[in-house]
Chain A
Amino acid sequence: MGQHQFEISYVFEYLVKLLPSLKITLLIVFSSILIGAAVGLLVALPRLYRIPVLQRLSGIYVSFFRGTPILIQLFLFYYGMPEMLKLIGIDVSRTSALYFVILTYSLHSGAYISELIRGAVAAVDRGQVEAAYAMGMSGYQAFSRIVLPQALAISIPVFANLVIGNLKDTSLAFSLGIMEMSGTARTISALSQRFVEIYIALAILYLLISLALQKLFVRLERHLFRHEPAAAAAKREPRGKRTFFRKFGSVTDIPGKEARL
């Protein structure tokens, strides 16, 4: 690989050097998940309630963002959107690439989140809504008070997968020149030629954030599932594995996005 001999001390040095760019990575992840959640709910509703034309549009949107690579989506938005907007007289040529990245990742997450919501709502027992209707609740009351809280709990593992997937996907944003962690790593390695050390440092950072997120979601799930202590505990404690493997395992054990929906 590089011309230098491997030296562990550089790993630590690069860890510190990469840390500032973590901000950008997290900014992309969290803003896109937040916007994506709002978009996802909006897109899921027409399909849940079978609203004629909107239902079709939602379907097309979801197919596009789930069916094409995110890299292509990034390029399409970054190069294509300014051209389109120019036609209606809006100049975005000076807008930071970061906005395009966040927009793309938001729409991308929105597609997955809408599917996640659909799946989770369908997984809530039909009898729950019927009991709500039978006591005279309106459709909105039944959805917001009975279905949504249960659907949220059900969707946490898939959602965790989505957020962690998103975190890893942000490494593609460097292709538009964004100096998030991967972009920064590339720049530093081009100068120092210490590829191994820097990519080890980079991997460590991604891994640590993934584990932290995973832990957060497990807690959240436990909280949201406090009404089913037995079921939740059984699911979360694979017997005979040690803690470290359990934590690793749970990241991958979670059924994939497609598998669940």
Chain B
Amino acid sequence: MIKLTQIKKSYGRHQVLKGIDLTVEKGEVVAILGPSGSGKTTLLRCMNYLERPSEGEITIDGFTVNCKRPSKSDIHSLRKQSAMVFQQYNLFRHKTALENVMEGLVVVQKVPKEQARKRSIELLEKVGLGSKLDAYPSQLSGGQQQRVGIARALALNPKVILFDEPTSSLDPELVGEVLSVIRKIAREGITMIIVTHEMSFAQEVAGHVIFIDDGMIVERGTPNELFNSPKEERTKQFLKRYTPDGVYSI
């Protein structure tokens, strides 16, 4: 359902992505692991054209964009295929939780306001924020903001949701509430690509795990394969750093 072919991205002379190929099936959850600066964020941002790839081809649900010369409407259509959950939440600061979730429905999808409102309230209840409809982002904790961010992404009913380290700006005690919401929607069969440093979470929810280093996919496989019997030396070293005792069991 999602197919990336030879995605390359350079900033000036620095090549950040060196030809990424990736296929994701419908309903699948893919976790992307990798050290800081390896290009994970850039890869996600290329998929909705927040960054412009230098080369490659992106297909989401049959809609293909060739990155050599995409038209404005291609980019626009591609962006409507996906939704993104940001590391820094990026909720619209001047809008309430409810308005944040409604915004895309009303403005982009032209859903009538009342209907959008109803659906948004349902989604906010689903992420456990039914009592915070009228709160502004500044009045919410990080974990609550990120849950609004997830509801906002769900509202658009996208083909895929892209998560960029959704919990790494959170205080440790708030990580759990966000992970459990993601876990819940993963079970509903929504296609997701998640960049994360939460190893045990990745192991638990992902159908496939991908390890990226230095702009390349070093290794891919099921969580079991990747965590318990990694083949590449770089993968082993990375996992060792995140799990000091080097032991992972499901």
Contact = CB atoms under 8 A, between A and B. Distances in A.
Interface of A: 125, 127-128, 130-138, 141, 145-146, 149-150, 153, 226-231
Contacts of B136: 226-228
Interface stretch (B17-25, B78-86, B222-230): B78-86
Contact of A136 (B80, B92, B96): B80
Nearest to B80: A136
Contact of B79 (A136, A149, A153): A136
Contacts of B210: none
Q: Which of A136, A138, A231 has the most CB of B within 10 A?
A: A136
A49 to B, nearest CB: 14
B107 interface: yes
Contacts of A230: 138
Nearest to A145: B107
A74 B110 CA distance: 50
Interface of B: 48-50, 76, 79-80, 82-84, 86, 88, 90-96, 103-104, 107-108, 136-139, 152, 156
A128 B103 contact: no
Contacts of B49: 133
A137 B138 contact: no
Nearest to A135: B104
A227 B137 contact: yes
Contact of A227 (B82, B95, B152): B95
B93 A228 contact: yes
A228 B138 contact: yes
Given A138-B76, A227-B138, A150 B93 contact: yes
Contacts of A138: 76
A31 to B, nearest CB: 29
A125 B92 CA distance: 10
B93 A137 contact: no
Nearest to A132: B92
Contact of A231 (B50, B107, B138): B138
23 contacts: A130-B50, A131-B84, A131-B90, A133-B48, A133-B79, A134-B84, A135-B104, A135-B108, A135-B152, A136-B79, A136-B80, A136-B104, A136-B108, A137-B108, A149-B94, A150-B93, A150-B94, A226-B136, A227-B93, A227-B94, A227-B136, A228-B136, A229-B138
